[in-house]
């Protein structure tokens, strides 16, 4: 895994190597092993490398034999061995054993259609000198990020936004619509980001810059249409397991050791079990434990470790640890978050790197592909309840979906109606499955300043989501619609970003995701919904397929979502709680008033609730984390002078620089 950056001058003007090197400096954590820069007339490419495949031969940017095609690549092409043999058979000559060189020759052979042959996770840029064209691509499911912006006569791209902000001509202001989307959907909807003028290349899209034009097009799309209704449960289970075994086998290809995350849940246990089968030697696993029984899954982790015989390491995460690292976490997420969940994963990747590992397998993607989220069950129960809206028995089913939330069991029928009840018009909404969550999150916008509310007043909040829905979406079955929303929006925008790529790469660790093999994703999209959710038994087919691999206590346990302590992390214990210094500074009324994003009086009341130990419920916690993370973001990315002006690259620990004179909100 690596970091990439580059510039194309639309007028074919010169690009200086020192400019590219400046863009690479904030990306060093993504590639501490090596770096490289290449500049041509009208284009400059940069790369920082985390050496995993062919460590001695994979220096980048890399070119073909005559120097007419150059690539800078972040990611892994897992089927590079097979592609290499095919290309050799077509007359291509290779100088290395690296998967990067496969990209160069694959582009020579197929042009922009090269991405259709790839099984992997990637963000890469290819400079075609003969055509004076830049070709940028992002993997199908959005595992690896790439951002771009136009400033003056130049288009700049990079793995992270902070790299773009090293250029003085790039504006540093918040995008109010992007912020509004975070406080609705938990993430911006690509190509929008929370920064004005900065775009994220959406998953499964290519960007080309040629003859002064910038074009973005989709090259792949999941289709949840006609399903394999005639296939039996056993037949589907066998095919699923075959795909998982092969996806895991490919993702173990590496010239450095590969470990695995082990949460205690089914998904990571499956990837670990399959990796154990494919690994002749020892397999090292890594996990998080928590002081609070509410979040801790160490008992299940021990069961899997004992069953599979892995060498295990864990890191214990306390509430104060989350508060301590939170500013650095936001430096890496580059967007506000509404939960502290990324922080423990930041600490976990730190453990992995401390054990001298660079690569881990994880179970991310299983819930999206195979129907694992509580939200899917909840939507099914809500539709059932809507048939008899006055039924207390049907309403009681909601409580049974959340055994890990004791307070939910005692909630009244009136409360459940208010939060989960179905309005007649909601049944027809394409967002039906997600409306309760998004409406709850939207209540946090009561904390927005009056000026920000006024700026957002005329926008339809769901219009960007509606724009990414495929034409056939309305004909898909309800579970499939819910899966698409999770896969197209939340997976790349929140899970794989804030909890995946960013937290692992903060400590130079590459995550690999067998459940996100595109072949498995395409197979799962065609499964009958009843094989994904049988009644309200989530991931029914997966449990059936892997029942012989793991203890039944792990396979059959009720799903417990990964969670972490939230608002309490920023305040000490005792009857009069003391907040962390940075919390006090960033949430001070005068700072909030100057920034103009949140209402100081409303935030002060929220802070007082936490100080006195009176803060309760999801809304208070999400509000505290969302507001604080936004203020940290403003402090790190906007108030501090950019590297291009200060002639340095700031880190999260750097001293406060002079305030930016431009408005914070675009």
Catalytic residues: 2
8 Å CB contact between 347 and 288: yes
Distance CA 518, CA 524 (A): 10
Provide φ and ψ at 237, rounded to 5°. -65, -40
Distance CA 505, CA 28 (A): 10
How far CA 441 is from CA of 343, 412, 414, 535, 636, in Å, comes to 20, 21, 20, 28, 24
8 Å CB contact between 286 and 355: yes
Joined together, the tokens standing for residue 464 give 């960007």
CB 20: neighbour CB atoms within 10 A?
27
The position carrying tokens 């009069």 is 576
Joined together, the tokens standing for residue 395 give 């309403």
Distance CA 323, CA 211 (A): 49
Distance CA 144, CA 311 (A): 29
Provide φ and ψ at 165, rounded to 5°. -75, -5
Q: How many CA atoms lie within 13 A of 262 on its CB side?
A: 32
> In 471-616, which ranges are continuous DSSP H helix?
478-485, 502-505, 518-525, 529-532, 540-545, 552-555, 581-586, 589-595, 600-611
CA 59 from centroid of its chain's CA atoms: 27
75 forms beta bridges with 122
3-state secondary structure of 287: strand
Q: Which conformational region is residue 132 in: left (phi greater than 0), alpha (psi within -120 to 50 degrees), or beta?
A: left
8 Å CB contact between 320 and 293: no
Q: Positive or negative CA dihedral for 520, 525, 530, 532?
A: positive
Distance CA 263, CA 664 (A): 39
Distance CA 248, CA 517 (A): 9
Please give the span between the terminal C-alpha atoms of the chain, in angstroms, as a whole number: 33
**Strand ranges across the sheet with 510-512:** 311-317, 284-290, 258-261, 359-361, 510-512
The position carrying tokens 């999209």 is 525
Joined together, the tokens standing for residue 12 give 């074919």
β-pairing, 133-138 vs 120-128, is antiparallel
Provide φ and ψ at 122, rounded to 5°. -155, 155
Joined together, the tokens standing for residue 17 give 């190597």
Q: Which conformational region is residue 559 in: left (phi greater than 0), alpha (psi within -120 to 50 degrees), or beta?
A: beta
Question: What is the rounded (10 degree) CA torsion for 316, 320, 326, 328?
Answer: -70
Give 16's contacts (C-beta < 8 A, 6+ positions apart).
39, 44
Q: Which helix (H) or strand (E) holds 45?
A: strand 43-49
Distance CA 56, CA 34 (A): 10
β-pairing, 205-210 vs 258-261, is unpaired
């Amino acid at each position: 895994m690596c970091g990439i950056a580059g510039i194309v001058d639309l007028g074919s003007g010169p690009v200086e190597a020192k400019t590219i090197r400046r863009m690479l400096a904030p990306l060093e954590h993504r590639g501490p092993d090596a770096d490289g820069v290449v500049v041509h007339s009208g284009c400059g490419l940069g790369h920082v490398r985390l050496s995993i495949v062919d460590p001695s031969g994979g220096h980048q940017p890399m070119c073909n034999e005559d120097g007419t095609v150059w690539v800078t690549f972040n990611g892994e092409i897992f089927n590079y061995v097979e592609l290499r043999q095919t290309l050799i058979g077509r007359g291509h000559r290779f100088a290395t054993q690296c998967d990067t060189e496969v990209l160069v020759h694959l582009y020579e052979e197929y042009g922009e259609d090269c991405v259709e042959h790839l099984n992997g996770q990637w963000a890469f840029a290819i400079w075609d000198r003969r055509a004076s064209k830049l070709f940028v691509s992002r993997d199908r499911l959005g595992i690896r990020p790439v951002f771009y912006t136009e400033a003056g006569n130049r288009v700049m791209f990079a793995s992270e936004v902070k790299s773009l902000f090293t250029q003085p001509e790039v504006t540093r202001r918040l995008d109010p619509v992007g912020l509004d989307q975070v406080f609705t959907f938990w993430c911006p909807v690509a190509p929008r980001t929370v920064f004005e003028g900065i775009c994220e290349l959406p998953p499964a899209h290519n960007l080309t810059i040629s003859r002064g034009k910038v074009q973005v097009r989709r090259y792949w799309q999941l289709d949840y249409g006609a399903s394999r209704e005639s296939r039996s449960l056993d037949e589907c289970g066998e095919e699923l397991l075959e795909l998982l075994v092969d996806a895991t086998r490919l993702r173990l290809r590496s010239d450095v050791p590969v470990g695995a995350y082990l949460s205690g849940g089914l998904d990571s246990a499956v990837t670990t079990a399959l990796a154990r089968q494919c690994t002749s030697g020892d397999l090292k696993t890594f996990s998080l434990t928590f002081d609070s029984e509410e979040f801790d899954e160490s008992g299940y982790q021990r069961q899997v470790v004992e069953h599979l015989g892995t060498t295990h390491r864990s890191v214990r995460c306390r509430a104060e640890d989350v508060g301590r690292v939170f500013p650095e976490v936001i430096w890496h997420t580059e967007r506000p978050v509404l939960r502290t969940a990324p922080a423990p994963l930041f600490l976990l990747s730190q453990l992995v790197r401390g054990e001298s590992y660079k690569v881990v397998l994880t179970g991310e993607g299983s819930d999206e592909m195979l129907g694992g989220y509580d939200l899917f069950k909840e939507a099914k129960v809500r539709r059932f309840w809507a048939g008899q809206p006055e039924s207390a028995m049907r309403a009681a089913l909601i409580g049974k979906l959340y055994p890990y939330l004791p307070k939910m069991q005692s909630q009244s029928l009136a409360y459940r109606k208010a939060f989960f009840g179905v309005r007649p018009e909601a049944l027809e909404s394409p967002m039906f499955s997600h409306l309760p969550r998004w409406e709850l999150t939207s209540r946090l916008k009561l904390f927005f300043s009056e000026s920000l509310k006024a700026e957002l007043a005329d926008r339809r909040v769901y219009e960007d989501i509606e724009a990414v829905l495929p034409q056939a979406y309305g004909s898909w079955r309800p579970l499939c619609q819910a899966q698409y929303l999770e896969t197209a929006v939340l997976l790349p925008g929140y899970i794989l970003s804030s909890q995946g790529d960013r937290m692992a790469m903060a400590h130079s660790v590459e995550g690999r995701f067998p459940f996100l093999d595109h072949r498995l994703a395409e197979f799962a999209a065609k499964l009958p919904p009843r094989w994904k959710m049988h009644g309200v038994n989530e991931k029914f087919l997966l449990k059936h397929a892997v029942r012989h691999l793991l203890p039944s206590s792990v396979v059959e346990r009720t799903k417990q979502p990964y969670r972490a302590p939230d608002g309490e992390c920023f305040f000490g214990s005792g009857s009069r709680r003391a907040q962390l210094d940075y919390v006090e500074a960033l949430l001070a009324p005068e700072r909030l008033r100057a920034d103009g994003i949140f209402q100081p009086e409303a935030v002060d009341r929220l802070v007082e609730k936490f100080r006195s130990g009176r803060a309760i419920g999801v809304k208070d916690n999400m509000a505290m984390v969302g507001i604080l993370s936004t203020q940290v973001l403003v402090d790190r990315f906007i108030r501090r002078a950019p590297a291009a002006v200060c002639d340095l690259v700031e880190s999260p620990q750097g001293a406060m620089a002079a305030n930016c004179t431009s408005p914070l909100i675009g």
